[in-house]
Amino acid sequence: MADETAAAETGAPEATPEANGAKRKKLLRILAIVVVTVAVLWGLWYFLTQAGRVHTDNAYVGADSAQVTALVSGPVKEVRVSGTQAVKKGDILVILDDADQRIAVADAEAALRLARQRYGQASATADAARARVSARGADIAQARARLRDANATVERARAELARRESIAGTGAVSGEELTSARAALASASAARDLAAAGIASAEATRGSASGDLGAAEAVVRGTTVDTAPDVAAAEARLEKAKLDLARTVLRAPVDGIVTNRQVQVGQRIAAGAPIMILVPISTAYVDANFKESQFEDIRIGQPVELVSDYYGGDVVFRGKVVGVAGGTGAAFSLIPAQNATGNWVKVVQRLPVRIALDPKQLKEHPLRVGLSMEATIDTRGN
């Protein structure tokens, strides 16, 4: 049996070197055709889908966060939100004890009523001063009338004295009558002087009354009870007190997620102290840091595709370029790079590109600030 097998093997035709070489060449041609075909297909795919696209995985989600700050001081009465909670604009976040603010409002209201009362008193004082000026004018008129009457009396007394003196030598007038006439003239002259002094006194009194009237009118001149400075100042203080009272209720300024809550019930917080941060994830954006060598064709308005590890490659976010930063991150770092030394080595810099995301996609797939993204800008529409 072994001999038969050996004979059979010896009788089989052996492959020639020429046949093996032809077979090898054929395989190489097939392999070359496959490689060329794959290369052509890959080149066609790259040209149609990847050419003119710039990519970076150095991109991060950002948002213009809103810092909630207490505008008035006071103890915390109630905290209505917790960390990671979603809130809407206007929702109540924290309530402070408002006892001090309510007292301030009551005090300001009392001050406003007092200011209005004082304005009414000033107006009444002006009216009274005006009446006194009118009365002093009447007194002056009376004093002048008395002076005219006194002048007439003096003239009559002087005439009587002259007449008696002219006939005194004839004995028709006694010495007593002559003395009486002289006394009457002196009395009339004194009465005239008193009437003249009365005019001066009345005029001085009217001057004083006019001064009081001017001072009283200066308080109310050109104003009403609503526009008087003291009343306006009191109203402003009341508005301020009411504003402080309203500020004891802290509300959400935007829609967002509560982050970094730093307030507890019973804690006394000072005015200006930050108590939490609201992150408006519905308006999140992406800052993608592209190499400076990639900016040849990047333009504002170009479409962008973004992928986040948070959702995986199944979710592709659509966005567009809305801006390019004014400098690299190194240029605005706390300690900028100093390249004036002799051992300088060039390092490719990265420049942030702001990318706006589709709000509908953000609503369906909300992101969080700080998440990393992969961004690809399509520059073919240049």
Using pLDDT thresholds of 50, 70 and 90, give the confidence band for residue 144.
confident
Of 159-168, 171-180, 318-327, highest mean pLDDT: 318-327
Residue 12 has pLDDT above 90, yes or no: no
- 348-351 contact pairs (CB < 8 A, 24+): 348/291, 348/292, 348/293, 349/291, 349/292, 350/58, 350/289, 350/290, 350/291, 350/292, 351/289, 351/290, 351/292, 351/295, 351/324, 351/325, 351/327
The more confidently predicted of residues 131 and 34 is 34
Residues with Cβ within 8 Å of 70's Cβ and at least 6 positions away in sequence, in order, are 94, 96, 247, 250, 269, 270, 271, 272, 273, 275
Considering the domain architecture, whether residues 89 and 210 belong to the same structural domain is answered as no
- Please check whether residue 105 lies inside any domain of the structure: yes
Structural domain containing residue 275:
66-97+247-279
pLDDT tens-place string over residues 25-54: 778 888 888 888 888 777 766 666 555 688
Nearest to residue 288, comparing CAs of 262, 317, 251, 252?
Answer: 317
Residues 71 and 173 in one domain: no
Query: Is residue 109 domain-shared with residue 222, that is, in the same domain?
Result: yes
Give pLDDT tens digits for 216-272: 666 666 667 777 888 889 999 999 999 999 999 999 999 999 999 999 999 999 999
**Is 150 part of any domain?**
yes
Cβ pair 130, 213 in contact under 8 A: yes
Q: 198 versus 375: which is more confidently predicted? A: 375
pLDDT value at residue 214: 66
Tell me: do 177 and 251 sit in the same domain: no
Q: How far apart are CA 20 and CA 109, in angstroms?
A: 112
Q: Closest by alpha carbon to 236, among 122, 328, 108, 331?
A: 108
Question: How long a stretch of residues is the chain?
Answer: 382
For residue 43, is it within any domain? no
pLDDT tens for 342-372 read 666 777 889 999 999 999 999 899 999 999 9
Give me the mean pLDDT over the 44-66 stretch: 79
> Is 134 in the same domain as 228?
yes
d(CA 193, CA 198): 9
Asked if residue 113 and residue 192 are part of one domain, the reply reads yes
292-341: pLDDT as tens digits: 888 888 899 999 999 999 998 889 999 999 999 888 877 777 666 666 66
Residues of the chain with pLDDT > 70, as a percent, come to: 76
Average pLDDT over residues 171-184: 69
Residues 90 and 108 in one domain: no
Residue 304 counted as domain residue:
no
pLDDT of residue 8: 46
Domains in the chain, number: 2
Q: Are 252 and 235 in the same domain?
A: no
Between 278 and 328, the higher pLDDT residue: 278
Give yes or no: residues 133 and 228 share one domain. yes
Model confidence band, residue 6 (pLDDT cutoffs 50, 70, 90):
very low
Higher local confidence (pLDDT), 355 or 123: 355
Residue 302 lies in a domain: no
Query: Which tokens hold the place of 25?
Result: 């060449």
Q: How confident is the model at residue 97 (pLDDT cuts 50, 70, 90)?
A: very high
Q: Of 250, 349, 240, which Cα lies nearest the Cα of 294?
A: 349
Q: What is the dihedral of CA 57, 59, 61, 67, to 10 degrees?
A: 150
CATH code, domain carrying 263: 2.40.50.100
Work out whether strand 66-69 and strand 92-96 pair parallel, antiparallel, or are unpaired: unpaired
Q: What angle do CA 219, 224, 226 make, to 5 degrees?
A: 115
pLDDT of residue 1: 44
Q: Are residues 227 and 256 in the same domain?
A: no
User: pLDDT at residue 59 above 90?
Assistant: yes
Cα atoms in the 13 Å half-sphere on the side-chain side of 242: 7
What 3-state class would DSSP assign to 127? helix
CB 133: neighbour CB atoms within 10 A?
Answer: 19
**177 in the same domain as 89:** no
pLDDT mean over 189-215: 71
In angstroms, the CA 233 to CA 327 distance is 49
Least confident of 53-67, 155-169, 267-281, 313-327: 155-169
Q: In this structure, what CATH number is given to the domain that contains residue 219? A: 1.10.287
Of residues 164 and 368, more confidence is placed in 368
Between residues 382 and 99, the one the model is more confident about: 99
Angle (nearest 5°) at CA 363 between 360 and 368: 125
Given this model, what pLDDT does residue 92 score?
95
Q: What is the mean pLDDT of residues 283-291?
A: 92
pLDDT in the model for residue 329:
75
Shared-domain flag, residues 155 and 254: no
Within-domain flag for 19: no
Q: Is residue 163 part of a domain?
A: yes
Look at residue 153 and tell me if it is in a domain.
yes
Average pLDDT, the chain: 81
